[in-house]
A and B are shown apart, each in its own frame.
Chain A
Amino acid sequence: MPRIALENVTVTRGGKRILHGFSLEIRDGEYFALVGETGAGKTTILNLINGLLAPDEGRITIAGRDVTRSPAEARDVGMVFENYALFPHYNVYKNVAYSHRVRDRDVTETRKAAREILSLVLIPNRDGALPKELSGGMQQRVALARALMCESGILLFDDPFSALDAGLRMSLRIELKNLARELGTTVVHCTNDVEEAMMVCDRLAVIRDGRIAQLGTSDEVYYRPSDLYVASFISDVNLFKCSVTRVDEEQGLYILTHKRGNEEETREFRVIAQEGAPVFNEGNDVLLCVRAEHFYINHGFRKKPNRVHGVIDEISFLGHLIRYEVKDEYGKRYRIQRFVNAKTRYLRFQKGETVTLGFHYKLGLLFACPREEELARFENV
């Protein structure tokens, strides 16, 4: 039985449809991430689960119990708000103990539980401090502790790290994940940062305009994106509009031709499509999509399948990554991302250098050619 289920939920606000026939099941004890752009409807989903929002249509169940019409205070689902929403007039302890106090739990038990949770989230003894006296990271921990006091075993995070410095974010993510696992809590975590989602989640759903674009493990979403949107949302992609010249049925290999502008010159790609990709036949138009990090980069100029050539136009150093932008003779730009560590640090390319880019035939993603409007979002296909 799923821990949380949304069945055919529709939400309309101010004449605008935010969710339409939305269904989602979250398993017991899993860490589930909702990822999507600002305004995709992620927070609405959280508010449906915690009861701050009632759907116009559809059913919501928690642990099999229909809670569609039950108010927030009856659901006991802990939530960490984007800006924490710590009660400014209560000190740390009173904030954390709030959910027990409003239920008039035994005072000593409440104290014990709060103590335990405060030490779990590593808050040093600052019971008497008011929220405004704490640093951002500390406030975040207090908000977490407060949410953990809810006893339903469900935690919702609404972009919990957005107010924190990048460095702090990284260490808190891992901490959060371990904590949830230790306690066996079911977590739904909203964010607009794919890296963050993948780092914490067991499964994730990519939300687009109030619908699930794809749902799966990080691995599935990364290697087998359901469509171009998901593929490009997760990391930078390079697109090639091709036609299928031949299909090698035995190996499942597609041989593709990419036309270069008005020129006669063509380029050949050999690709085994990702699992779950549609089947293409000879003569079909397809869109080949190569992730920036799946291109390798080499000196020189070698003409072979799955290779493109160009001149390095821009380099940006990101510590453990280097991004190159390569421009070919037709002005088409390619984005390449290279992992750098002590072993590969010395292999560097200079601006203006002619290079060959290539990718492994198992790493190309194939999609049916989308409509022009959809493609227009990407530069030079």
Chain B
Amino acid sequence: MEAPTTDPPARSELSRQDIKPPRLGLQLRLEKYFSKDKFRIALDTGTIGFFLFLIIGPLVSLVGTVIFSWNGIYTSVFDDPITGNVQWQIMGTVLGRSFEIAAIATGIDLVIGLPMAFILTRYEFRGKKLLDTLVDLPMAVPTSALGFSLYLFWGSNMGISGLFGLEQGFLSPGPILITFTHVAFTYPFIVRNLKVIFQEQSKLYEDAAKTLGAPGFTVFRTVTAPLAKEGIIAGTILAFTRSLGETGATIIVAGIFETAPMYVVALKDSLNFPSAAFLSMILILVSLVALMFLRIFSRRIGFPVSKVVPKVERALSTRPVRVARNSIGMVLFIIIVLIPAMYTIPYVIEWFAVNPFTGSTNNTVLESLFAPDNKWAWLWVSTGNSLAIAGISTGICLLFGLPMAMILVKRKWGKMKELLDALIDVPLIAPTAALGFAMYLFWGPFGLNVFQPGFWLIIMVHVAMCFPYIVRPIIAIIEKTDPELESAARTLGASSLTTFRTITLPKMKPGIIAGMIMSFTRSMGETGATIVVSGLIRTVPLLIVDWVETRDLAAAGFASVLLIAFSFIVLLLLRKTMEHS
């Protein structure tokens, strides 16, 4: 800054008095006008109203149904004149099974996911980007396609058992296969969460610990893990609730066994609404309790870390152990997650035109698709449905998600905001089938009677489902953005709306795009809730479920690959936008 050694020239633009500020142009004037408090309040109120209608309404209606038809529920669940409390016993069994599966799957995920997250954040190596993409891959695979893929790999004679020349599937559909499916399905959630936490955590603390003499394992146990505690707990609970509520993939691999969300669907299909409401409420309550636990207690839980066992920990920090840990994490990822999740693709290629065993065209993709029942047409109709639903619901989500994100970051409403913040996550963790059922009760013929099962009700359900996927990334990016940037714009003369348009919005763009893509893929792949409210409309995931049930495996495979391909493209787009931000 070589400042002028003499006074600035007399005609300095900066000190000229005759430049009068001009009249504002239309856009700036409108922005200034709408920056007034009353408009902000109106927008806030509208957004919150919409949100409450969307989320709270269905939940209230669910609880209402349970309370008002308690007598009916009591009779049918606990005291049926014919079957006694057999209904309750079944519920107990399916709930127990769901919990067991969720717990085991989450446990396995944590064990094989931790080393992977660590590898992805603390090491530099060639092909890291590729590995990173591969880890995220199962997330891009819609759940019913994933379920189908796993069924093919583990459960049919066309998968791994073919490798050993077995006639039967390696695992028959049932709890074990469900667990495997859930491991593959929640794995990317866990790794992603852990990755973000490790990335954000300053490496400085680990460096400090090393200079103080702590070997690698001790550093992890005493510094990295306790600091990442909240994130680890959050990731675990998220994975647990997702597993608990998963329907789409589970239906395909469950065989004769049922899980709790599947039972909700079954009850609804048999028109036993009171019992379905009762079970839904239990499932949602469990998720809510998990959410509360996450928000209130995770900060207070300590890690039991007082005692150090130097010999053991030093041994655990040695190179061979480290290498072993990393390779086991990697191998398990490939065997349990990656290959099974992607297995449909080779299957479809193999079975495309000819049956690889007999050489005939029996059961091939082509034959199955162009069979007289016109699956080909169904496939494209439902693809159109899926795209339209995903597009419209993402649009609605964005419309209300943007102001919602702003409210959650900027407004200083204390407790009230905390509650709102917690409610946003409800659709994220509530079992989809239960939530879908709640929304059916609220909007459907037994509630407000606004939407019949079908296109628009599916959209309402998807809006609720995708809302957190839009809001969370936007919040994350606003929170990371320095609020002083906006202060700077204000002191430079921009009204609050002008500031929003010129400073805040461009900053949020990657978050918005990421959120939109997440929401779009989520909607494309959603199965559990859609089944409940679909009526006669078919989306691609539903089609897969249908076709698996009618044993049209080749057609289901083709639909899966279509869905996977589509989701994968979207995932690539997502990564691109993330990298640009």
Contacts and interface: CB of A to CB of B under 8 A. Distances in A.
Do A and B have CB atoms closer than 8 angstroms in the complex? yes
Interface of A: 50-52, 71-79, 81, 83, 85-89, 98-99, 101-104, 146-147, 149-150, 331
A98 B227 contact: no
A331 B208 CA distance: 53
Closest A-B pairs by Cβ, 10 of them = A72-B210, A99-B212, A85-B208, A102-B214, A104-B310, A85-B204, A79-B211, A50-B211, A99-B213, A73-B213
Contacts of B215: 71, 73, 102
A83 B219 CA distance: 19
A50 B214 CA distance: 13
A367 B518 CA distance: 65
Contacts of B313: 102
B208 A103 contact: no
Given A87-B223, A89-B226, A89-B227, A103 B204 contact: no
B218 interface: yes
17 contacts: A52-B210, A71-B210, A71-B215, A73-B212, A75-B211, A79-B211, A85-B204, A87-B208, A87-B227, A99-B212, A102-B209, A102-B212, A102-B214, A102-B215, A102-B308, A149-B212, A150-B212
A367 B214 CA distance: 50
Contact of A81 (B208, B218, B219, B226): B208
Contact of B310 (A79, A102, A146): A102
B109 to A, nearest CB: 25
Nearest to A77: B211
B209 A51 contact: no
Nearest to B317: A73
Contacts of B309: 104
Nearest to B222: A102
A104 B212 CA distance: 13
Given A87-B209, A99-B213, 9 more contacts: A52-B211, A73-B219, A78-B211, A79-B211, A85-B208, A98-B212, A99-B212, A102-B215, A146-B212
Contacts of B205: 85, 87-88
Nearest to A52: B207
Given A72-B207, A79-B208, A88 B214 contact: no
Contacts of A101: 308
A321 to B, nearest CB: 22
Contacts of A74: 213
B226 A102 contact: no
Given A102-B222, A102-B308, A104-B308, A51 B212 contact: no
Interface in B203-244: 204-205, 207-216, 218-219, 222-223, 226-227
Given A87-B223, A89-B227, A104-B308, A73 B214 contact: yes
Contacts of B204: 81, 83, 85
A102 B227 contact: no
Interface string B487-523: 0000000000000000000000000000000000000
A331 B227 CA distance: 60
Interface string B55-66: 000000000000
A153 to B, nearest CB: 14
A147 B227 CA distance: 21
Nearest to A379: B2
Contacts of A149: 212
A215 to B, nearest CB: 25
Interface residues of B, number: 24
A300 B214 CA distance: 68
A246 B316 CA distance: 74
A76 B208 contact: no
A150 B227 contact: no
Contacts of A76: 213
Nearest to A96: B212
Nearest to A151: B213
Contact of A98 (B202, B207, B214, B216): B214
A51 B211 CA distance: 8
A102 B311 CA distance: 10
Contacts of A71: 210, 215
Contact of A150 (B202, B213, B310): B213
Contact of A72 (B202, B211, B310): B211
A85 B213 contact: no
B249 to A, nearest CB: 38
Nearest to B226: A89
Nearest to B218: A102
Instruction: Tell me which of B209, B213, B219 has the highest count of chain A C-beta atoms within 10 A of its own C-beta.
Output: B213
Contacts of A73: 210-216, 219
Contacts of A50: 211
B200 to A, nearest CB: 13
A104 B214 CA distance: 10
Nearest to B303: A89
A316 to B, nearest CB: 15
A150 B210 CA distance: 11
Nearest to A104: B310
A98 B210 contact: no
Nearest to A152: B213
A103 B223 contact: no
Nearest to A156: B211
Nearest to B229: A89
Contacts of B216: 73
A92 to B, nearest CB: 15
Contacts of B5: 331
Instruction: Tell me which of A71, A72, A103, A147 has the highest count of chain B C-beta atoms within 10 A of its own C-beta.
Output: A72
Contacts of A86: 208
Contacts of B214: 73, 98-99, 102
Contacts of B212: 73, 78, 98-99, 102, 146, 149-150
A103 B210 contact: no
Instruction: Tell me which of A73, A103, A149 has the highest count of chain B C-beta atoms within 10 A of its own C-beta.
Output: A73
Nearest to B207: A52
Contacts of A331: 5
Contacts of A88: 205, 227
B211 A102 contact: no
A184 to B, nearest CB: 20
A72 B204 CA distance: 13
A78 B227 CA distance: 22
A99 B209 CA distance: 8
B456 to A, nearest CB: 49
A76 B313 CA distance: 17
A147 B219 CA distance: 16
Instruction: Tell me which of A51, A76, A98 has the highest count of chain B C-beta atoms within 10 A of its own C-beta.
Output: A98
A42 to B, nearest CB: 16
A89 B223 CA distance: 8
B388 to A, nearest CB: 48
Contacts of B202: 85
Interface string B83-100: 000000000000000000
A53 to B, nearest CB: 10
A44 B223 CA distance: 23
Contacts of A72: 207, 210-211
Contacts of B208: 79, 81, 85-87
A318 B226 CA distance: 48
Contacts of A75: 211
Nearest to A149: B212
A329 to B, nearest CB: 14
A98 to B, nearest CB: 5
A87 B227 CA distance: 9
A98 B209 contact: yes
A269 B317 CA distance: 67
Instruction: Tell me which of A88, A98, A102 has the highest count of chain B C-beta atoms within 10 A of its own C-beta.
Output: A102
Nearest to A313: B5
Interface in B319-338: none
A31 to B, nearest CB: 19
A286 B273 CA distance: 99
B523 to A, nearest CB: 39
Contacts of A78: 211-212
A98 B212 CA distance: 7
A102 B208 CA distance: 13
A99 B310 CA distance: 12
